[in-house]
Structure 1
Amino acid sequence: MARPAGSWNKKEVQKKKDQKRKEKEQKKLERKESGRSSLDDMIAYVDENGMITSTPPDPTTKAEIDLDDIQISVPKDSEVEPVSTTRTGIVTFFNESKGFGFIKDLKTQESIFVHVNGLIDEVKENNRVTFEVEKGLKGPMAVKVKLDK
């Protein structure tokens, strides 16, 4: 009766271990005999363009940099005229019962939400108004809305 193909006896397992050990020892000897790599063979240099090379840079081409020319901080901004945050627009829709509506900005033609809490004067549709814009939960929101005279 034949043995199953998957079973091994102790002698075969030991032969394989010995064979692997001999192969490993042989590879170790080959590496030793092939020549030693020195530290100089392992060093890489970076040239002026940022590329990695095996040759050291030429010290005669070294550029001198004046330390006073190096700026680490951010330059100060020049004085900017204050921008007016007040805008003008026309009330395109306003629902008095629900207390909200929309204003169309005359400059940007953008439709901006307005709530009754952001009103200073009472507004109706097609009224010309001045307002300021704040960021609301769902986008821009008009506040400090009053009638434009």
Structure 2
Amino acid sequence: MVKKETSTKRDREKVKQTKKEEKQKRKEERLNNGSRSFEEMLAYVDENGVLHSTPQEKPRTEIDASEIAVSVSKQEEMEDPLPLNGRIEHFNKSKGYGFVKDAENDEKYFFHITSAPDDITEGDIVTFEIERGTRGMNAVRISIINKVNK
């Protein structure tokens, strides 16, 4: 079916008017067919997450504001971590990082050159401590116990 092309201004105005009237009729039909009010569309959620059409009454408990403690919780004092022993598995001096392998559990820890002595090389036996970094545990405060001669 081919859409009729209007050529005159009067024809275009008639089409526009009929569309406007159809839209108004549809709007009236929606209103007459029992459209719901805003209150009927509301849903209420109780403390268990169940939806209800009416607000649910729950017993209100009074809270004494003087019992509310607003502060930072006390942190337990941690003992200074014992230094761990390990061996330098990998070290790249030009990039400034390396990895220490723990002697006890064979875990590898990343370290940055700023937390190691200047003369550190691969194979050195070292003591170190671990701290949480942005991507995991890092070896810090590294000191050489036994230097490997190359």
Q: TM-score normalised to the size of structure 1?
A: 0.54
1:93, 1:101 within 8 Å by CA — same for their partners in 2? yes
5+ residue gaps, structure 2: 92-96
Q: Deviations over 1:98-136 (max 9, x none)?
A: xx9975421232456797x934889895x654344687x
The match for 1:20 is: 19
Query: Which one-letter code corresponds to 2:84 in the other structure?
Result: R
2:100, 2:139 within 8 Å by CA — same for their partners in 1? no
The match for 1:107 is: 104
Task: Please identify, of 7-16 and 29-38, the stretch whose mean Cα deviation from structure 2 is larger.
Answer: 29-38
Q: Deviations over 1:66-110 (max 9, x none)?
A: 3466566553233332222x222346789xxxxx99754212324
Inter-partner Cα distance in structure 2 for 1:124 and 1:83: 25
Q: Which has the larger radius of gyration?
A: 1
1:66 aligned counterpart, secondary structure: coil
Q: TM-score normalised to the size of structure 2?
A: 0.54
Query: Which one-letter code corresponds to 1:21 in the other structure?
Result: K
User: Shift of residue 37 of structure 1?
Assistant: 4.5
- Distance 1:65-1:17 versus aligned 2 partners, 3 A rule: same
Task: Work out which of the residue numbers 81, 84, 90 in structure 2 matches 1:83.
Answer: 81
Task: Please identify, of 19-28 and 69-78, the stretch whose mean Cα deviation from structure 2 is larger.
Answer: 69-78
Q: Deviations over 1:12-52 (max 9, x none)?
A: 43332121122122223334434574453243322121233
- Distance 1:43-1:73 versus aligned 2 partners, 3 A rule: farther
Inter-partner Cα distance in structure 2 for 1:5 and 1:35: 35
- Distance 1:108-1:8 versus aligned 2 partners, 3 A rule: same
2:126, 2:142 within 8 Å by CA — same for their partners in 1? no
1:104, 1:111 within 8 Å by CA — same for their partners in 2? yes
